[in-house]
Structure 1
Amino acid sequence: MKVILASASPRRQALLQQIGITPLICPADFAEGSGNASQAQEVALYNAAGKCAAVAAKMGDELPVIAADTIVVIDNVILGKPQDAAAAKAMLQRLSGRTH
């Protein structure tokens, strides 16, 4: 089965390959939305749909597009993508030793 993966994530590629799908990789050019922890599900759905639409607009509709979004919530705060190494370190320290 041929599909387009709207992500450059090696983990998402590996998950598809585990079920016998080698996707065409096309990372989405989409500005992700944000919100508070009570909106985490809505934010994830918004981001996944936006990524899917952006890739479909670029690649056409001949192949299905798979898009997803992952959101980490801790202490009722959505943790976004770290902007630099210092922010990544701070995020990992915040998550360290906790169930998440």
Structure 2
Amino acid sequence: MLNNLKDYHLILASQSPRRHQMLKELGLEFEIRTKEVDEVYPEELTPEQIPVYLAELKASAFESDFTNNELVITADTIVCVDNWILGKPKDREDAFKMLSALSGRSHQVISGVCLKSKDKKVSFATTTNVHFKELSKQEIDYYIDNYKPFDKAGAYGIQEWIGFIGIDGIEGSYFNVVGLPIQRLYEELSKF
């Protein structure tokens, strides 16, 4: 469908199985290739700027390797509640603290995406507002013990048990909360 990309070799720089699946569902052929990046960002960035900065940082790690026909797709997702940036939890205690902070409140899930080739770069962010019902300690414990959400920003996956029982509303892209704003990505790829 994205005929403008037929001359590109697509690289998805992500280990996320959810991102792999969504890109596959777009009908794209791509290679998965990642590079180690120290995910540190300047303190003065706004929540909307942080995931874009990190996605661009991940893309820049490929600069010295680029061939003429490669297009790398990088992404980063954060969860933000009251200007507190929640990345991936360090351990069980951290996951519990994050889910307790989200309980009974609204928060933002912000994904930054960078598309980069040898001579072009396009970056964007997408924000989704998510509202959790009040979660009991038992519900949080059950989720952490059974789903081990240590690879997820904000310590939860909307597509898992906690999303089924705990999220009572979202405004914006559901897929953004899963980890990739796929509709916006499709638009940007079609213009690349």
Q: So what's the TM-score if we normalise by structure 1?
A: 0.80
Alignment of 1:89 with 2:96, yes or no, is yes
Instruction: Give SS of 1:67's match.
Output: strand
- In structure 2, distance between residues paired with 1:6 and 1:68: 8
- In structure 1, distance between residues paired with 2:33 and 2:83: 32
- The alpha carbon displacement at 1:11 in A equals 1.3
Structure richer in strand, relative to its length: 2
**Identical pairs, percent:** 39
Aligned position for 2:123 = none
- In structure 1, distance between residues paired with 2:58 and 2:32: 13
Over 3 Å off, 4+ runs: none
Structure 2 counterpart of 1:3, which letter?
L
Structure richer in helix, relative to its length: 1
Aligned position for 1:66 = 73
Alignment of 1:44 with 2:51, yes or no, is yes
Report if the CA contact (8 A) 1:5-1:67 is conserved: yes
Counting only pairs closer than 5 Å after superposition, residues 11-22 of structure 1 correspond to structure 2 as 11-22=18-29
The number of residues matched between the two structures is 98
Instruction: Give SS of 1:33's match.
Output: coil
Report if the CA contact (8 A) 2:47-2:83 is conserved: no
Aligned position for 2:34 = 27
Instruction: Give SS of 1:29's match.
Output: coil
Structure possessing the higher relative contact order (Cα contacts under 8 Å, 6 or more residues apart)? 1
- The alpha carbon displacement at 1:66 in A equals 0.1
Structure having the higher Rg: 2
Pairwise CA RMSD of aligned residues?
Answer: 2.1
Unaligned 5+ segments in structure 2 are 1-5, 107-129, 131-192
CA deviation string 1:68-99 (max 9, x = no partner): 11111001211122111221222122223333
Aligned position for 1:10 = 17
Unaligned 5+ segments in structure 1 are none
- In structure 2, distance between residues paired with 1:7 and 1:56: 16
Instruction: Give SS of 1:69's match.
Output: strand
